[in-house]
Amino acid sequence: MTDKHSLSTADFGQALGRSRTLRARIVLCLLLIAVYLVLEWFSFLQDFSGLPVSPWNPGLGVVFAFILARGWFYGGVLFVGILLAELVLLGTTASGYAVVLVAAISSCIYTAAAYVVRIAIKDDLEFDHVKSVAALIVGGAGGAMFTALILYNLFIGWETAHGQILLQMFIGDAAGIAVMTPLTLRLLRVNFSDVFPLQKYDRLLEVPLHVFAHCVALFMVTWDGFGDFYVLVVPIVVTAARFGYDGACVAVAGVQFGLGAILHALGADANVFFEFQSSLLALTIAGLLVGAEVNARMRSERLVKEAEARLQDMKDEATQAGRLALVESMASSLAHEINQPMTAARALLRTSQVLMSGQKLDLPRAEKNVETAILQIDHAANVLRRMREFLKRRRLSLSWVSTRELLNEALILSRTATSNPVTIEADPGADDVTLAVDRIQIQQVFLNLIRNAVESIESDPSIRGRVIISARRDSTPERVEFSVLDNGPGIDPERHKHVFEPMRSSKDEGLGLGLAICLTIIEAHGGKIWLHSGQAGSTEFRFWIPVDRTEGR
């Protein structure tokens, strides 16, 4: 029972919605017929052999726009409009049968022409593209010519010499479509508030000037007889150039209505109307094409700005992603760099605990382990402090240190990261050169390289490991070249080109950041680091730092 009641309620709601839609359409059709009749009354000029001959047919243009935008149903509105205009408003001399025939032929041809135009423009109802305007003009003119030819042949005949009437019928309908259809289509736009040329307040201030210019041009054309019609070209083209297609639609419609009112007031005959309408049709087409081209440029500019805005958004997103990646990389780097000294300090302290808790105390060895552990902890603290200073100042913290000191400090720090079979030696070379370096960061480079060498050696228990760190001065260019050489199993040749790339670790638990950090540090010092040899038994990394940093000390 409830389901049936719900279903009936839903059906009632749908029926009510359809009823409201139907009533709204009927009201719109009645209003459209009323508009058609008013425009026919305004533009009607003469009746010839039962055919209405108007200088221009604005009512046809309005209904033609509805057929284009809303479908064939409004072809029936055109039929009713023509029928009522002929029988009630214009007082035609033709019979009722002839009037019905005229209305049927005209409405069918223009409905078909509207569908041809829609196919040509692929349902692009903006009609502010040059292609769309051209299709509208050609389609409307084709419909007007076809209608004029059929009606002329049926009601006048080709034997008579009234070819001008045929041309007037064609010009009247073509002008009505060219002037009123574009304007009506623009007014029918769903997003009328988005008509961008008229929404620019700086240009809205120009509207009174454009209206005044059109009035002056109309006055010049009709004053003291009928002067040069092409005076109207300038204000129409200028308006189209400033306000685009919408301005062109309003301008040509305004000129058409103004000129029609003036000619009616002056009592101009059919020949004068025909002469002006022929010229105005050409001017209308020119104005619409100029407006469409301006809209195309405005559209291009808008698309360029939107593309630039999207590109800027993408750049901002990339920058943000880069910052996040930098933070992530720094966090990973800190974890990687601090893990080594903290692991060594923990191992040393654990060993010291064992030494002090056993039956046979070994206080000297425990004390040495504690001292070394403190040194490792201090190193971890220095890494954190240097990173904080780098983030604040984005530059190295340079100090003067000799190559011998660098090697000795690296030797002390790295020995805690080795197992008993691995021997680490230092060869400071003959020359003891003083360099301006960030001591903590250079120590970090040594620790990373030595740690990698030790872990490589430990992967093969059969090797009695040995690591040698050395320094030598080179004069081409003036620099100090450091080396970390080990007798481990070597590096896979396929990895030689990628050893300094991040996230390419050969270790199961490695992050692949150690050598990438070394590369960053050495390049920040103006130097270079590279894999000199990856062969088993003689794996060697080298890096150099320029001596010219010490000049002028």
Six-digit token string for 41? 């009354």
What is the Cα–Cα distance from 14 to 109, expressed in whole angstroms?
35
- Residues of the chain within CATH 3.30.565.10 domain(s) are 396-550
What is the Cα–Cα distance from 198 to 188, expressed in whole angstroms?
16
Architecture of domain 396-550: 2-Layer Sandwich (3.30)
Q: Count Cβ atoms below 10 Å from residue 374 Cβ, excluding itself.
A: 13
Give the pLDDT confidence of 17-40 residue by residue, as tens digits: 555 677 778 888 889 888 888 888
Helices (H), 420-476: 439-458
Contact between 443 and 379 under an 8 Å Cβ cutoff? The reply is yes
Q: What is the pTM of this model?
A: 0.54
- Residues of the chain within CATH 1.10.1760.20 domain(s) are 23-194
End-to-end CA distance of the chain: 101
Least Cα distance to 515 among 529, 494, 535 occurs for 529
Q: How far is CA 393 from the centre of its chain?
A: 36
Contact between 155 and 201 under an 8 Å Cβ cutoff? The reply is no
503: left (phi over 0), alpha (psi -120 to 50) or beta: left
Task: Kindly state the DSSP code that residue 492 receives in the 8-state scheme.
Answer: -
Cβ-proximal residues to 44 (8 Å cutoff; 6+ apart), any chain: 52, 54, 89, 90
What is the Cα–Cα distance from 492 to 473, expressed in whole angstroms?
30
The CATH classification of domain 23-194, taken from the options 3.30.1330.60, 1.20.58.1610, 1.10.1760.20, 3.90.79.10: 1.10.1760.20
How far are the Cα atoms of 102, 117, 540 from residue 484, in angstroms, in the given order?
Answer: 102, 80, 6
What is the Cα–Cα distance from 503 to 486, expressed in whole angstroms?
23
What is the Cα–Cα distance from 485 to 342, expressed in whole angstroms?
25
Six-digit token string for 90? 């214009």
Contact between 45 and 55 under an 8 Å Cβ cutoff? The reply is yes
What is the Cα–Cα distance from 184 to 58, expressed in whole angstroms?
10
**Per-residue model confidence as pLDDT tens for the chain (553 residues):** 445 444 455 554 565 555 567 777 888 888 988 888 888 877 765 544 555 667 778 888 899 989 988 888 888 888 998 888 877 776 666 677 888 888 899 899 999 999 898 888 876 667 777 888 888 889 988 998 988 888 878 777 655 556 677 787 888 888 888 888 888 888 887 444 444 444 444 566 778 888 888 888 878 777 765 556 677 888 888 888 888 888 888 888 888 888 777 877 777 666 777 777 777 888 888 888 888 888 888 888 888 888 788 767 765 665 555 455 555 555 666 666 677 777 777 777 777 777 777 666 777 777 787 777 787 787 777 777 766 665 554 566 788 989 998 898 888 777 665 555 788 888 888 788 899 998 878 888 888 898 888 888 888 888 888 899 999 988 777 899 999 999 888 888 888 777 887 655 555 444 456 787 788 888 888 899 999 998 888 899 999 999 865 443 4
